[in-house]
Amino acid sequence: MCYPFTVQLFRNLRFVNFSHCTLLREIPDVSSLPNLESLDLRECTNLVEVHQSLGRLEKVVHLNFLNCCNLSCFPSRLNSRSLENLIIRGCIKLSRFPDMLVQVKRLKELVLYETAIEELPSSVANLIELKELYLSDCTDLKNLPCSIYTLQQLDRIFVDGCSQLSKFPECLCESSDCTNVSLPLALPSVINLKMQRCSLSELSFLKNLHCMSSLTILDLSENKFVSLPTCMSQFTKLQQLYLTHCKQLREILALPPNITFLHAKGCESLETCADLSDVLLYNPDESPWLRRIDFSSCQKLIQDQCSSNCNMLSIEGLLGETRVDIFYPGSKIPKWFAHQSTRGLIRFPVFS
């Protein structure tokens, strides 16, 4: 049997490490530990409750609850400006994220993988220097707050596997209010946005983002939207676009001008793809050109459309040592493809 420790004797205690204490079931009142900076409870698999007093400590820097799989009662508020690390990954019974009562400047990474969190509070905006937000496989997550748009330093957002997330929040400066220069830009620093295996039915939020000159990787695989919007052409730095197994996707209206990888495997309803010619023209003074396109298992893709794109690719795609991979539905090389070969290599002329 594990008994609560007597915290009154440790007023100057700064570091507590109870990691892997599988008999520990609760953390009692810690209000008598005003100097506590670090609490490590990772892999305490039978921990159920952490007393609310932890959230009132102002000097806390590190909190680690990694894989505390029975933790369900956690402080509803955190009041430490010094917080640098907050890890609750693998807390599969934790359904509520605490309100952040003060502005936190040191927390750069928020790791919430595989929790039961249903939504983030609007006070997440107080994590003003947050750079990385990880919510992968939070299968109960239904909403993200509009205040997420105020996080100007955020460069990575992973919400893949959040199967109940049906939409991204509306932008704070959506409508005519966008002319108000005092409003913050909407996620201006994001370079990697991963939303695979969610339930997105539309992508209107993309047109309101201000990361069009920073986003390089966008993963929208296994979602429910039917159209990739024309605003995609404005994402000038986007190089990798993943649309794998978007089974309801019917049309790709536009593509980023500097895309290098387009993965659309398994888009069984896809009928139309925007003309790729604008992004396939080689310009030695600018960024890389398209190198890999995967339309395998896209049986409804209009043949004439794809034919035009692939012909352009055969002429402009292979320059120097650049390799271009083309995946096209079917088991044979289409007759309209000008370069037939029984060998593993096809060489194309380079036009000056």
CATH number at residue 103: 3.80.10.10
CA 190 vs. chain centroid, Å, equals 9
Q: Specify if 269 maps to a domain.
A: yes
Q: For residue range 41-84, list pLDDT tens digits in order.
A: 999 999 999 999 999 999 999 999 999 999 999 999 999 999 99
Q: For residue range 148-186, list pLDDT tens digits in order.
A: 999 999 999 999 999 999 999 877 554 434 444 456 789
Residue 331's pLDDT is: 62
Residue 185's pLDDT is: 87
Q: Specify if 117 maps to a domain.
A: yes
- Same domain assignment for residues 146 and 207: no
Domain that holds residue 12: 1-165
Q: Specify if 170 maps to a domain.
A: no
Residue 137's pLDDT is: 96
Give CA–CA dist 165/189, Å, rounded. Answer: 23
Q: Specify if 100 maps to a domain.
A: yes
Give CA–CA dist 22/19, Å, rounded. Answer: 8
Say if residue 237's pLDDT is above 90: yes
- Same domain assignment for residues 205 and 327: yes
- Same domain assignment for residues 157 and 280: no
pTM as predicted: 0.81
Domain count, the chain: 2
- Same domain assignment for residues 227 and 196: yes
Please work out, in degrees rounded to the nearest 5, the angle formed at the alpha carbon of residue 203 by the alpha carbons of 201 and 209.
150
- Same domain assignment for residues 159 and 69: yes
Share of the chain above pLDDT 70, in %: 75
Q: State the pLDDT confidence band at 8, using cuts at 50, 70 and 90.
A: low
Compute CA distances 286 → 37, 236, 283, 290, whole Å: 49, 11, 6, 12
Residue 274's pLDDT is: 79
Say if residue 335's pLDDT is above 90: no
Residue 230's pLDDT is: 94
Mean pLDDT is lowest, of 107-111, 235-239, 257-261, 333-337, for 333-337
Contact at 8 Å (CB) between 149 and 125?
no
Give CA–CA dist 203/232, Å, rounded. Answer: 10
- Same domain assignment for residues 76 and 200: no
- Same domain assignment for residues 198 and 226: yes
Residue with tokens 């402080």: 75
